[in-house]
């Protein structure tokens, strides 16, 4: 089932009644709105004057709905997830923590290969040269000792947004970096939600290990999914218009990312569903019953076959 994403960019009072999310607006004339909690996958809270009751927070968390809050720059800055996301969580975390270094290096190799290949296919969709990326994808070794992930990323972004003057991939760089930052933050929340639902700790990564980063594993596993965000942003840039400010319209387009169609293991499915399959396959690798992570394959065509 595709879960809905709700975005609140104006002052609102959020509560719950009869298993519904109830929305009341301080402005006169706006009617109360209700949405079934079971339909929700993500709730994005942007406006600082939003009030949410503890009862609603509890029900959202029990429904495994990710509650995303935003900072002063309107970028997602935190994700509220359940303390217990899976009935076998303790055992699953133990397997995750006991993963050997050779296994982690092999998993990172698979991750980087999938990311670079997806980046190459995205360039091909845009009728851009991807020969180097295709070659680098095949050259990745265990642990990516040759740092092909970073080398490929630099070449990829240079070609993808070559028409944008002064562009380089940098969080504080010129647009569309602002759109990429927002899209990646949403993708990170999708990944963290799936990891918790699969009974793993998003903070203990296979490659990323910054002690100040609470989402190291999420940052690892989302890598092959990044080109889907890039594709949405590319279309927004190509459509023209002002992208220097994150307008409500631009955010609404980026908030469709969890529902994007992706091709995984021979089947089309919404990105949020595919991510859950990816995180479940990761646990099977930690368990020892599998050696392969299921990652999506970026297709040249837009629509599912």
pTM (2 decimals)? 0.93
Confirm whether residue 149 is marked as ligand binding.
Answer: yes
Which DSSP string corresponds to 182-193? Answer: HHHHHHHHHHHH
Return the closest-CA partner of residue 94 out of 290, 275, 283, 221.
283
- Tell me how far apart the alpha carbons of residues 51 and 72 are, in angstroms, rounded to a whole number: 17
Residues 28-42 pLDDT 10s: 678 899 999 999 999
Angle (CA) 241-235-296 rounded to 5° is 155
- Asked whether the predicted pLDDT for residue 304 surpasses 90, the reply is no
- What are the two backbone dihedrals, phi and then psi, of residue 78, each rounded to the nearest 5 degrees? -155, 155
Domain residue ranges in the chain: 4-80, 89-287
Structure tokens at 239: 């459509």
Q: Which CATH class is domain 4-80?
A: alpha beta
pLDDT, tens digit (0-9, with 9 covering 90-100), for 28-85: 678 899 999 999 999 999 999 999 999 999 999 999 999 999 999 888 999 998 888 7
User: Is 208 a known ligand-binding residue?
Assistant: yes
Q: Is 1.20.120.920 the CATH classification of the domain at 89-287?
A: yes
| Per-residue pLDDT, 305 | 47
Q: Which helix (H) or strand (E) holds 239?
A: none
Residue entry with tokens 């499915």: 269
pLDDT tens-digit map of 200-224: 999 999 998 888 888 999 999 999 9
**302 band by pLDDT with thresholds 50, 70 and 90:** low
């Amino acid at each position: 089932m595709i879960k809905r994403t709700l975005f609140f960019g104006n002052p609102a009072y959020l509560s719950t009644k009869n298993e519904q999310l109830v929305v009341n607006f301080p402005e006169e004339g706006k009617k109360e709105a209700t949405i079934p909690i079971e339909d929700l996958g993500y709730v994005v809270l942007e406006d600082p004057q939003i009030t949410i009751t503890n009862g609603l927070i509890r029900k959202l968390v029990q429904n495994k709905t990710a509650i995303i809050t935003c900072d002063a720059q309107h970028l997602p800055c935190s994700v509220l997830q359940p303390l217990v996301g899976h009935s076998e969580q303790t055992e699953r975390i133990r397997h995750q923590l006991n993963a050997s270094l050779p296994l982690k290096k092999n998993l990172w190799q698979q991750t980087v290969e999938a990311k670079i290949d997806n980046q190459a296919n995205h360039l091909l969709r845009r009728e851009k040269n991807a020969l180097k990326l295709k070659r680098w994808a095949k050259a990745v070794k265990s642990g990516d000792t040759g740092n092909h992930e970073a080398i490929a990323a630099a070449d990829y972004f240079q070609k993808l947004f070559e028409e944008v003057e002064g562009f380089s991939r940098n969080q504080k760089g010129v647009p569309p970096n602002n759109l990429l930052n927002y899209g990646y933050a949403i993708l990170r929340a999708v990944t963290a939600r799936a990891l918790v639902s699969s009974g793993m700790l998003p903070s203990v990564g296979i490659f990323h290990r910054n002690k100040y980063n609470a989402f190291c594993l999420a940052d690892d596993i989302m890598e092959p999914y990044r080109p889907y965000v890039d594709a949405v942003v590319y279309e927004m840039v190509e459509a023209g218009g002002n992208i220097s400010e994150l307008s409500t319209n631009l955010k609404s387009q980026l908030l469709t990312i969890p529902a994007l169609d992706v091709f995984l293991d021979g089947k089309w499915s919404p990105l949020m569903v595919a991510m859950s399959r990816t995180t479940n396959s990761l646990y099977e690798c930690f368990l020892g019953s599998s050696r392969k992570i299921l990652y999506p394959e970026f297709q040249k065509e837009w629509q599912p076959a």
